[in-house]
Amino acid sequence: MKPKRVWRRKRAIPIRIPPHIPFLLPFAFLVTLFFFVPVVLNILLAFTDMDFAMHWNFVGLKNYFRFFTDRIIPKVLLNTVIYVTATLAINVGLGLVLGILSTYYVPENVGLLFRAIWLLPRMTPPVVYALLWLWVLDPTEYGLLNMLIGQNVNWTMQHPLGVVIIVNGMVGASFGMIIFSAAIKSIPRDYIMAAQVDGASNWQIVRRIIIPLLRWPLMFVTSWQTLSLLTSYEYILLVTDGGPFYKSEVWSLYAYHTAFSHQLYGYGAAIAMVLVIVAIVVTMIMLKIFGFRRLMELAGGG
Amino acid sequence: MNRWCVGFLIAAMLGFAGLAAETVEITAWASGSPVDATRCLNLYLAGGYLENELDAEGAALGIDVTCQYTHVEDWAAYMRRFRLAFEAGQAPWIFAAGHELIGELADAGLIIPLDEYYEKYWDKYELGDLYQPLIEACKYQGKLYGFPQDTEARPVYFRKDVLRKLGWSEEEIEALPEKVLKGEFTLDDMIAVAKEAVEKGLVEWGIYHRPSPGGYFHMITMAFGGILQDPETGKLVLDKNAILKNLQFHARLVAEGVTPAAMTQTSWRSIHKAVVEGKVLFWFGGTWHWAEWQRVAYHGELGTLPEEYEWENLGFMLVPAAEKGGKPVTQSHPFVYVVTKQAENPELAFRLIALTAKPDLVAKHALGSGHLSIRKTNTAEYTSWKFGNAVTYMLDYTTTIPNHARWSVYHRAVYDAIQAVETGAMSPEEALAWLEDKLTKELGDELIVKG
């Protein structure tokens, strides 16, 4: 009897690709291409004196030395601190007030309409939003604000930093408003009702129940907005362009102007690099203060 | 509007080009104020001439010109666009720019020297008839990188109607340019008259100047006897005495209440509107504005200005001398065509731009845009042009800005310093110290500090 041939399955060498890798690959590719490569390029660029000619001349730390001796830098840093602090106060403070007002104090549908109106500037293209402000602030008698107060004030020249703070604050507050109102809605009504039964006033409910329960959203909005204010400049560019004479120039805009208006790409990259380092440090400090680790523990299964 | 016209012309040229056996596409970018579109249109017309020439030479070659015209207000942004287009391999063959940008463009290796073509076509295109200083303005490090397109003068315009209201007689008004020429009417006198007009409520402001970086700011340095470039080494010069006087002059304009502190934040449109409506007495303008006011509706009631209205109400003079008996100045800013490194056939590109210097095309551009001719022999139309004849004498007092690879750094910094002084952010002395610090750091060996 012919022995029955036993087909032995050749043992395949298993290529063990963890199942999540194929899912991650496209994103890893995109992140590498659009985030990692530009970061590396920027780091390299900051060591060159590249200008309009676009030559990769490596000059060591020259750009960084120049950063610390640039006479405009102290002014720009001070502007940045004032701008970020004041705008953040408006963004978080006004956002909180709007969030509480539109969810706790007024009926649901009125609150919805109110929030939709506040969201309009966020849905408007920045150029249109900035243009509207320029019309409001026009220095002639045709400016809306000047018409209202009955005299000609050149707002963007006399109060450039104030103007950019308000312009950014108004558009930024809607972000906090949305996050806070969603968080307030998720507070169980029982707490509020129980407090009302105990005779708590509205103010006491806000102070003792709502705000303490908004701790994590507050942390999130504050750190998120700090970072985005440090690095964004489009409204300032459109409304005052940093002027007059650097009075409303902030750090990120100075990097932009240096690189793209003055065509000093190397120095511009170095200014941006220092900003990145500062932003990282600020974020770490904030996460430490707010106890970010505890938040993650709670979410993870605590 | 212009874009549509250009688009239509491109379509028309493409239609014609289809008929020719072999076609060469020559691309170009040109720019300027709204009335300078002839910088593009003349290239199309020259394309026709070039085709005829090639026909006569027996080369059956169609010339298809594609030119993009941009009304530029921000030159830094426009240059960046050109730079990026070049990087992407999409630069045009021909680029029209201010002559002072040659240094920067040549240094970055974006444009090619044209000396051999100048030599080859000198007689054929009668290039000896061009004003030689204009060709000189195309020179960088001993080589010719550009071909003159136009030139102009920058006069100070004054409102005759306002001077009449101030009690000046017709003779006094007509004699003003002459007094400036002799150095009898100085910058101080100009401020005094402007102040009087403001105080009497005849105008809102006495003196306006341009709101963006431009040659004007250096012209004032030169009016105070300063220099911008060392003639021997070609290095840029920070003439501290003259620049300080320039800064003090602008601080004084604001302090005397004749110029708004926010001058540099005023839009071009509202400046032109104020000038044509007589709300400002003196305007540091350019000859091309004469044409611009006739073609762009700045006046609230009249819209575009009829030329008779201009002759009736607007006068023009050189920039007054800084001191009695001193020399008045003006500035020319020759515009040039350059040929980029990405031009596939540089010789054809050169021939095309050289043909735009034909008298009929030169006249067409000059009359249409308020610029002056680049050549000595001109058409009858040009020689009988009243405004052109009235301002040509200014070329004897003209100055130019330097051709230097780092010019734009210097250019921008001086503007920033003047803005700082006018808006009160710095005193003239502080602004000068800032300027010196900035320029010595950024330009290093390429800067000579004088005084």
Q: Cα distance from A120 to chain B (closest Cα, Å)? A: 28
Contact B162/A at CB under 8 A? no
| Chain A interface residues (partner B, CB cutoff 8 A) | 52-54, 66, 69-71, 139-140, 154, 156-157, 243-247, 260-264
Q: Name the DSSP class of B260.
A: -
* pLDDT (tens digit per residue) in B204-245: 999 999 999 999 999 999 999 999 999 889 899 999 999 999
- Cβ A170 vs Cβ A121: under 8 Å: yes
CATH code at position A132 = 1.10.3720.10
How many C-beta atoms lie closer than 10 Å to residue A266's C-beta? 24
Token readout for B402 is 């330097």
Shortest CA gap A232–chain B (Å): 20
Q: Which residue of B has its CA nearest to A243?
A: B265
Residue A185 to residues A96, A190, A203, A217, B216: CA-CA distances in angstroms? 13, 12, 17, 12, 62
Q: Is the minimum CB–CB distance between B425 and chain A shorter than 8 Å?
A: yes
Average pLDDT, chain B: 92
Domain assignment of residue A34, yes or no = no
State how far the Cα of B339 lies from the Cα of B336, in Å rounded to an integer: 10
Instruction: Please state the φ and ψ torsions of residue B96, each to the nearest 5 degrees.
Output: -100, 130
Are B105 and A76 in contact by the 8 Å Cβ rule? The answer is no
Closest CB to B108 among A53, A139, A154:
A53
pLDDT tens string A60-80: 999 999 999 998 999 999 999
Instruction: Show the domain range for A93.
Output: 62-297
If you measure CA to CA, which chain B residue comes closest to A265? B80
Looking at chain A, the whole-number percentage of residues with pLDDT higher than 90 is 52
Taking the C-alpha atoms of residue A272 and residue A42, their distance in angstroms, rounded to an integer, is 8
What gap in Å lies between CA B282 and CA B316, rounded to an integer? Answer: 9
- Residue A38 falls within a domain, yes or no? no
A262, B419: Cβ pair inside 8 Å?
Answer: no
Domain assignment present for residue A193? The answer is: yes
Instruction: Rounding to the nearest 10 degrees, give the CA dihedral for residues B20, B26, B27, B32.
Output: -110
**pLDDT above 80: residue B17:** no
Quick one: average pLDDT of A115-137? 90
Our CA-based measurement puts residue B254 at a distance from the nearest CA of chain A, in whole angstroms, of 14
How close is the nearest chain A Cα to the Cα of B82, in Å?
11
Residue A7 has a pLDDT of: 59
Percent of chain A scored above 70 by pLDDT?
94
* Nearest residue in chain B measured CA to CA from A53: B108
CA distance B137 to B160: 35
- Distance of alpha carbon A278 from alpha carbon A280, whole angstroms: 5
A37 within domain boundaries: no
CB-based contact B412 A156, cutoff 8 Å:
no
Closest by Cβ to A245, choosing from B87, B409, B425? B425
Q: What is the pLDDT of residue B135?
A: 92
Task: State pLDDT tens for residues A25-44.
Answer: 999 999 999 999 999 999 99
Asked if A69 and B412 come within 8 Å (Cβ–Cβ), the reply is no
Residue with tokens 């701790």: A215
Using CA coordinates, name the residue in chain A closest to B103: A53
Chain B CB contacts of A261 under 8 Å are 76-77, 412
Q: Give the integer Cα–Cα distance in Å for B332 and B95.
A: 20
CA A92 to chain B, closest CA, distance in angstroms equals 32
**Domains in chain A, number:** 1
| Rg value, chain B, Cα | 22
Tokens of A146: 């000047």
Does the complex come out with an ipTM higher than 0.95? no
DSSP character at residue B375: B
Is the pLDDT score of B76 beyond 90?
A: no
> Exposed, middle or buried: residue B252 (CB in 10 Å: 0-12, 13-18, 19+)?
middle
B264–A contact, CB cutoff 8 A: yes
CB contact under 8 A, B265 and A264: no
- Measured between CB atoms, does B423 come within 8 Å of chain A? yes
**Biggest distance spanned by C-alpha atoms of chain A:** 115
Residue A98 resides in a domain:
yes
- Whether B1 shows a pLDDT value over 60: the answer reads no
| Residues A173, A84: Cα–Cα separation, whole Å | 13
Segment (H or E) for B390: helix B386-391
Quote the pLDDT of residue B416. 93
Calpha distance B442→B438 (Å, rounded): 6
Q: Is residue A158 part of a domain?
A: yes
User: What are the pLDDT digits (tens) for A148-160?
Assistant: 998 888 888 889 9
Residue numbers in A near B412 (CB within 8 A): 261-262
> Own/partner pairs for A147-155, CB < 8 Å, 24+ apart?
A154/B260, A154/B261, A154/B262, A154/B265
Q: In chain B, what are the domains?
A: 2-151+334-399 (3.40.190.10), 156-332+405-450 (3.40.190.10)
**Residue A212 belongs to a domain:** yes
CB contact under 8 A, B264 and A244: yes
Whether residue A169 lies inside any domain: the answer is: yes
CA distance to partner chain A, nearest, from residue B366 (Å) = 31
- Assess B442–A contact: CB distance below 8 Å, yes or no: yes
Give dist(CA A136, CA A122) in Å, integer. Answer: 18
Question: Edge-to-edge, what's the strand order for the sheet holding B335-339?
Answer: B61-71, B22-32, B94-98, B335-339, B146-150
Residue pair A142/A213 in contact (Cβ under 8 Å)? The answer is no
Alpha-carbon separation of residue B277 from B84, B280, B281 (angstroms)? 41, 8, 10
